[in-house]
Structure 1
Amino acid sequence: MAGRRRGRGSNVQQQQASQSQRGGPRRALREPAAFAKSTGYESEIPHEKLTIAKARRGTPAHRPVRVYADGIFDLFHSGHARALMQAKNVFPNTYLIVGVCSDELTHKFKGYTVMTEDERYDALTHCRYVDEVVRDAPWTLTTEFLKKHKIDFVAHDDIPYTSAGSEDVYKHIKEAGMFVATQRTEGISTSDLITRIVRDYDIYVRRNLQRGYTARELNVGFINEKKYRLQNQVDKMKETVRTVEEKSKHFVYRVEEKSQDLIHKWEEKSREFIGNFLELFGPDGAWHAIQERSGRMLQALSPYSSPRGSPSSSPTRRRSVSPDSSPASASASPSPSPSSLSPPSSPSSPKKGTRSSLKSSSTYSSQ
């Protein structure tokens, strides 16, 4: 068995290498499963009966265990795929045959289907666990059918399947020792999917109306069509309002965040400005120190003013001499009388003292 697996792996590697050398596109994992022949399984090798123990130990490569699983497979979903995966892996070397019942049998014994039989046949061929699909499979397995397709074992969940007047249609298969059980996937089934559609019928009708289906295609009356279209418009308006509200909330939040940030920065800057102002203009600040230093410098550079009546401020020093008088006459002229002299001019009115001095000088020269 191990040697067969190594040989198979080497063949796969050789195929991949040849494809890479040819430069062609990489093929899929496998081709779609084939449909069973109408005449059944044909082989020159005799088909001996297998026990479950022998099948679990493994069979030769030319003699895989032929396992059969049947069903309706309407709205093919993950629950179907998981059941087929278990049937495929129940033995080390398995050839999985899947039987699909026709619409006629299904409508008679179970009910109306969503997918047609051709759609269900085709869906099964694209499941990677399936090796062969039997169309128009029987509702109850007969001995003739098992021999025709050389079926070794039948895979299905172990729950009794009551149908066609029988408490369990797989009872005779179980008694013959040809039954292998699989586990159902809880929470998913075709009936569950149909229940969802029926429960939310209005939603799906409105959905398809939005996608361009006509009311006639959906089997919807005129009044219901208008009602559904009005509901669609109302939902659009609600969604628009909700979007505007969300955007406005986001805008307000951003404005509040920005305003708080600006206030915080303004507070920091104002504190910094006040601190710098106090440091510069406060009682112990630099500006006060500069003023004191400048005052001391001015006092040191500027002398104190002379007292009133000092020689530097006497009127005789500022007396002007007439241009007609010569130096000789100036020396011969007698000293003016104290009465003719003008009083000393105050520092605040130098012009008046100057005019008085000029007047007394001219009077003295005329005498």
Structure 2
Amino acid sequence: MAEVEPKDTCDTSNASAHSNSNADQPDRLVRVYADGIYDLFHFGHARSLEQAKKSFPNTYLLVGCCNDETTHKFKGKTVMTESERYESLRHCKWVDEVIPDAPWVINQEFLDKHEIAYVAHDSLPYADASGAGKDVYEFVKAVGRFKETKRTDGISTSDIIMRIVKDYNQYVLRNLDRGYTRKELGVSFVKEKRLRVNMRLKKLQEKVKEHQEKVGEKIQTVAMHRNEWVENADRWVAGFLEMFEEGCHKMGTAIRDRIQESLRGQQSRENVVRTQLYMIVIFVFAFLLAISVQLELVLCVHPPGNPKDLDGEILSHPCFIARFCLSLSSDRIEIVGQ
């Protein structure tokens, strides 16, 4: 707590005197008063008290807090008791003095008793539930002894209570798991069992959802790898078939050249027939080999689990055998013509 100067050195004159003295003597101690309920003390309370403390260069901050009887009568039930609320304020570093049992409406007698120069609060009208007026700070505003502070958005005692009420079941189970009895929490035996069953079902649903997400991720990964493998396999098959076709074409060309050379050398008809039979055997062998290789490659790319039209797969590739046969036929026609 800040050290308190003697009251005879404090600025406690009227409003006009305050303005002049503050301008002439900036280091003079000014007694500022702030009040409230301060239930479930939070950082919004602390920020408002910080603003009040820093309203003058040298401020002595008094904070009034209403007791339980007054608060329950005009505002409603609190979570914390009056002693707990007083103690929370005493541990705030901006507070120099706590005034317990503070009045609901401030009057001149209260200001004079505590030698208060200014009252700090936000500017919104605070309804006077006691029936004395529309705003509990109407008097100090009228006499020019009101210092405005800013509220902190997004935090209030009511918001905190609303969060607890919203997730009531979870907080009840949380405290039951920590050793509190259902009687201490005001929960019946049936309600306790129902809450536990609902919580188990909720956890089970979360686990199932988590498992489904993991399975979905794995399926996507496997599908991605499979697509990549199929693309690579297609490239390998196309490359192999191109090389195989080129090799067979060269072999067919060599056979054709050999036959032509034999015929030009005026071999006997028996040698010609034998050579042609030899050519047919090689042709049939190459044809069967090509069909076997293409069937195996198609089955590798499209396994039995995903059946395909094998004839369509084989016929979809360039048919080097047909070209080979045509080339042989044309050469044979040419030779016969000669």
Q: TM-score band, normalised by the shorter chain?
A: 0.5 to 0.7
1:234 to 201, 205, 216: 201
Cα shift at 1:291: 8.3
Alignment correspondent of 1:137: 102
CA distance, structure 2, for counterparts of residue 210 and residue 235 of structure 1 = 16
Cα shift at 1:179: 1.4
Alignment correspondent of 2:32: 67
CA distance, structure 1, for counterparts of residue 96 and residue 189 of structure 2 = 49
CA distance, structure 2, for counterparts of residue 77 and residue 102 of structure 1 = 19
User: Aligned runs of 1:316-335 on 2, under 5 Å?
Assistant: none
CA RMSD between the two structures: 3.3
CA distance, structure 2, for counterparts of residue 273 and residue 53 of structure 1 = 98
Query: What SS does the corresponding residue of 2:31 show, helix, strand or coil?
Result: strand
1:216 to 168, 171, 183: 183
User: Aligned runs of 1:36-55 on 2, under 5 Å?
Assistant: 42-43=6-7, 45=9, 47-49=11-13, 51=16, 53-54=19-20
Taking a change above 3 Å as real, the CA distance of residues 106 and 55 of structure 1, as seen in their structure-2 partners, is farther
1:77 aligns with 2:28: no
Contact kept in structure 1, 2:30 and 2:59, CA below 8 Å: yes
CA distance, structure 1, for counterparts of residue 214 and residue 178 of structure 2 = 28
Alignment correspondent of 1:163: 129
Q: Which has more helix, going by share of residues?
A: 2
CA distance, structure 1, for counterparts of residue 183 and residue 55 of structure 2 = 48
CA distance, structure 1, for counterparts of residue 255 and residue 86 of structure 2 = 105
CA distance, structure 1, for counterparts of residue 37 and residue 132 of structure 2 = 18
CA distance, structure 2, for counterparts of residue 139 and residue 48 of structure 1 = 22
Worse-superposed segment, 51-60 or 228-237: 51-60
- In the comparison of the two structures, how many residue pairs are matched? 257
Taking a change above 3 Å as real, the CA distance of residues 104 and 48 of structure 1, as seen in their structure-2 partners, is closer
Contact kept in structure 2, 1:74 and 1:115, CA below 8 Å: yes
CA distance, structure 1, for counterparts of residue 206 and residue 21 of structure 2 = 60
Deviations, residues 29-59 of structure 1 (Å, cap 9, x unaligned)? xxxx4699xxxx7345364526464476474
1:119 aligns with 2:84: yes
Cα shift at 1:186: 4.5
User: Aligned runs of 1:1-367 on 2, under 5 Å?
Assistant: 33=1, 42-43=6-7, 45=9, 47-49=11-13, 51=16, 53-54=19-20, 57=23, 59-61=25-27, 63-158=28-123, 159-167=125-133, 168-279=135-246, 281-283=247-249, 285=250
Worse-superposed segment, 162-171 or 86-95: 86-95
Taking a change above 3 Å as real, the CA distance of residues 266 and 125 of structure 1, as seen in their structure-2 partners, is farther
Cα shift at 1:149: 3.1
- Structure 2: state its 5+ residue gaps: 263-338
Taking a change above 3 Å as real, the CA distance of residues 135 and 34 of structure 1, as seen in their structure-2 partners, is farther
Supply the AA of the counterpart residue of 2:92: C
Query: What SS does the corresponding residue of 1:130 show, helix, strand or coil?
Result: coil
- Scaled by the length of structure 1, the TM-score of the pair is 0.60
CA distance, structure 1, for counterparts of residue 21 and residue 39 of structure 2 = 31
Taking a change above 3 Å as real, the CA distance of residues 238 and 35 of structure 1, as seen in their structure-2 partners, is farther
Larger Rg: 1
Supply the AA of the counterpart residue of 1:182: T
Taking a change above 3 Å as real, the CA distance of residues 268 and 210 of structure 1, as seen in their structure-2 partners, is farther
- Structure 1: state its 5+ residue gaps: 1-32, 300-367
Equivalent pairs: percent with the same residue?
Answer: 45
Cα shift at 1:292: 9.7
Taking a change above 3 Å as real, the CA distance of residues 123 and 273 of structure 1, as seen in their structure-2 partners, is farther
Query: What SS does the corresponding residue of 2:183 show, helix, strand or coil?
Result: coil
CA distance, structure 2, for counterparts of residue 255 and residue 91 of structure 1 = 69
Taking a change above 3 Å as real, the CA distance of residues 187 and 277 of structure 1, as seen in their structure-2 partners, is same
Taking a change above 3 Å as real, the CA distance of residues 60 and 187 of structure 1, as seen in their structure-2 partners, is closer
Query: What SS does the corresponding residue of 1:239 show, helix, strand or coil?
Result: helix
Deviations, residues 203-233 of structure 1 (Å, cap 9, x unaligned)? 4323433444321221101111111111111
Contact kept in structure 2, 1:35 and 1:135, CA below 8 Å: no
Query: What SS does the corresponding residue of 1:217 show, helix, strand or coil?
Result: helix
CA distance, structure 2, for counterparts of residue 203 and residue 85 of structure 1 = 35
Contact kept in structure 2, 1:99 and 1:133, CA below 8 Å: yes
